[in-house]
């Protein structure tokens, strides 16, 4: 307090708010060195293109090789410099990159559906391969903090699959535990759920692109439940034709498919996350034990906890993010891209360019063009090394089409969809 009073008096007397210089030990490392150290820790690897530094490992490596930074800071120094810069390069998180060329039209369709939902809208998905784990020792609690302690080692007791329908109107869930999620299992629970809905009203389902969700058996089942004739298999002899028929509005049951890598657009996934925390983290000695706990939670959810999930996301900014992320992948990892994934992403960029040009700033389009040009040789070399001739042709066509579109835009210096 005395220091504050003294400082206020001095500032009032001198009308100067700047603190006086303080004595103390001068900094051992300069600001330039701090930047070099940060770059070393964040942008290099212990081995060629692999491995992640730890503080202790980096300190030992710099001590053994002081010529790298012309210094050998200790572990605490490295930690302090990184912490000061608010960098945490040891942390990571997963991301789900957009690869579906038609991702944005599919996303826009679902967002419009959610903003004006039909009366009977359900979200369906499977939670497959749930491991049934039995801990060797029951959980215990400490005497002082009563903190729960969990045994690390466990015994595997098989797997379980949960198939669930989330009701958009009230948040209630119809779900079953099943030993598998094959076509017959899926169709059986699908029929059961349809039978619980009003007879003469249309039913809308949102689901992903699993093969059982787009096969001819589902077409036959939906035709039967809708009271109409199913087109012969010769007319629905490929995936695109079946999907279009399943999506068609001229029948009682209508399927809406999420984009590939778009599971986050399916609201039942949020419920699976809740269910996972409430049920799956415990120890179970058998499938029956897990099933009993799951069904008890399901009853509790539908009785006390069920509520609609309010969808507010409108997709704003995702177009720009998709372009920037693909540019970053090309810039830093062009030589590691798998050809099928590369082709899909090139087609996605081309579709964005022609259909959603104005949703991405022009600077980002120009940056993408510069990156594609800079990495073109590497990308073409990857394509040439592909063994499959059809994959090779599709990738080359997609690359040429995107380069041509971006080149024409930059040369003309005009927008495509003004």
Q: Write the pLDDT tens digit of every residue in 374-403.
A: 999 999 999 999 898 999 999 999 999 999
Separation between Cα atoms, residue 185 and residue 162, nearest integer Å: 11
Q: Is the pLDDT of residue 11 over 60?
A: yes
Q: Please indicate whether residue 291 or residue 26 has the higher confidence score (pLDDT).
A: 291
User: Beta strands of 72-184 (E only): which ranges?
Assistant: 121-135, 140-141, 148-149, 154-167, 173-178
Q: What is the pLDDT of residues 249-290, one digit of tens each?
A: 999 999 999 999 898 999 999 999 999 888 877 777 788 888
pLDDT on residue 6 = 80
Q: Is the pLDDT of residue 9 over 70?
A: yes
Q: What is the mean pLDDT of residues 179-189?
A: 92
Compute the average pLDDT of residues 196-223.
94
pLDDT at 417 over 50: no
Q: What is the pTM for the complete model shown?
A: 0.79
**16 is written with which tokens?**
């100067």
DSSP string computed for 46-80 = SBTTB----HHHHHHHHHH-GGGTTS---HHHHHH
Residue 50 has pLDDT above 70, yes or no: yes
pLDDT tops 50 at residue 407: yes
Dihedral class, residue 208 (left if φ above 0, else alpha if ψ from -120 to 50, else beta): beta
Specify the pairing of strand 253-257 against strand 203-207.
parallel
Does residue 15 have a pLDDT over 90?
Answer: no
The DSSP call for residue 85 is T
Q: What is the mean pLDDT of the chain?
A: 88
pLDDT band at 328 (very low <50, low <70, confident <90, very high): very high
Model confidence pLDDT, tens digit, residues 125-176:
998 888 877 766 666 776 666 677 666 676 777 788 899 999 999 999 999 9
pLDDT at 415: 47
| CA distance linking residue 370 with residue 328, whole number of Å | 12
Q: What is the mean pLDDT of residues 197-224?
A: 94
In angstroms, what CA-CA distances link 242 with 8, 122, 182, 322, 366? 79, 20, 18, 29, 39
| pLDDT of res. 151 | 63
Q: For residue 164, what are the β-bridge partners?
A: 125, 175
Is the pLDDT at 363 greater than 90? The verdict is: yes
> Would the pLDDT of 414 be above 60?
no
> Residue 147: helix, strand or coil by DSSP?
coil
Mean pLDDT of 187-197: 95
What mean pLDDT is predicted for residues 12-25?
73
Residue 360 has pLDDT above 60, yes or no: yes
Reported as a single tens digit per residue, the pLDDT across 98-118 is 889 999 999 999 999 999 999
Poorest-pLDDT segment among 130-144, 170-184, 192-206: 130-144
**Sign, CA torsion 102/106/109/111:** negative
- What residues does each domain of the chain span? 27-92, 103-305, 318-412
The answer to whether residues 363 and 307 touch, using CB atoms and an 8 Å cutoff, is no
- Please give the class, per CATH, of domain 103-305: alpha beta
């Amino acid at each position: 307090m005395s220091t504050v009073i003294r400082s206020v008096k001095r500032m009032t007397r001198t009308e100067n708010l700047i603190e006086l210089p303080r004595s103390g030990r001068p900094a051992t490392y300069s600001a330039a060195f701090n930047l070099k150290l940060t770059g070393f820790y964040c942008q290099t690897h212990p081995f060629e293109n692999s491995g992640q530094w730890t503080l202790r490992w980096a300190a030992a490596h710099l001590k053994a090789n002081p010529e790298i930074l012309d210094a050998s800071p200790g572990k605490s120094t490295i930690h302090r410099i990184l912490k000061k810069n608010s960098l945490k390069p040891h942390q990571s998180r997963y991301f789900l990159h957009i690869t579906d060329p038609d991702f944005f039209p599919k996303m826009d369709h679902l967002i419009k559906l959610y903003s004006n939902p039909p009366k009977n809208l359900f979200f369906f998905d499977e939670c497959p391969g749930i491991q049934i784990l039995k801990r060797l020792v029951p959980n215990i609690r400490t005497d002082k903090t009563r903190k729960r302690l969990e045994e690390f080692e466990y015994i595997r007791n098989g797997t379980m699959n949960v198939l669930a329908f989330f009701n958009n109107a009230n948040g209630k869930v119809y779900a079953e535990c099943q030993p598998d999620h094959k076509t017959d299992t899926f169709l059986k629970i699908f029929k059961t759920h349809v039978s619980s809905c009003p007879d003469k009203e249309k039913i809308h389902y949102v689901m992903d692109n699993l093969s059982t969700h787009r096969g001819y058996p589902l077409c036959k089942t939906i035709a039967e439940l809708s009271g109409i004739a199913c087109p012969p298999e010769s007319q629905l002899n490929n995936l695109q034709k079946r999907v279009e028929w399943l999506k068609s509005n001229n029948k009682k049951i209508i399927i809406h498919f999420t984009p590939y890598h778009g599971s986050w657009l399916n609201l039942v996934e949020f419920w699976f996350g809740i269910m996972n925390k409430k049920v799956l983290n415990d120890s179970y000695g058998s499938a029956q034990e897990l099933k009993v706990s799951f069904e008890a939670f399901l009853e509790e959810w539908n009785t006390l906890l069920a509520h609609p999930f309010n969808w507010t996301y409108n997709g704003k900014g995702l177009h720009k993010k998709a372009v920037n992320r693909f540019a970053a992948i090309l810039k830093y990892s062009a030589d590691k891209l798998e050809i099928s994934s590369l082709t899909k992403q090139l087609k996605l960029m081309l579709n964005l360019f022609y259909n959603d040009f104005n949703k991405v700033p022009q600077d980002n389009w120009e940056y993408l063009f510069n990156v594609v040009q800079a990495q073109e040789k590497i990308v073409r070399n990857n394509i040439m090394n592909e063994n499959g001739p059809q994959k090779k042709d599709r990738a080359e066509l997609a690359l040429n089409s995107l380069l041509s579109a971006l080149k024409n835009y930059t040369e003309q210096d005009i927008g495509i969809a003004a």
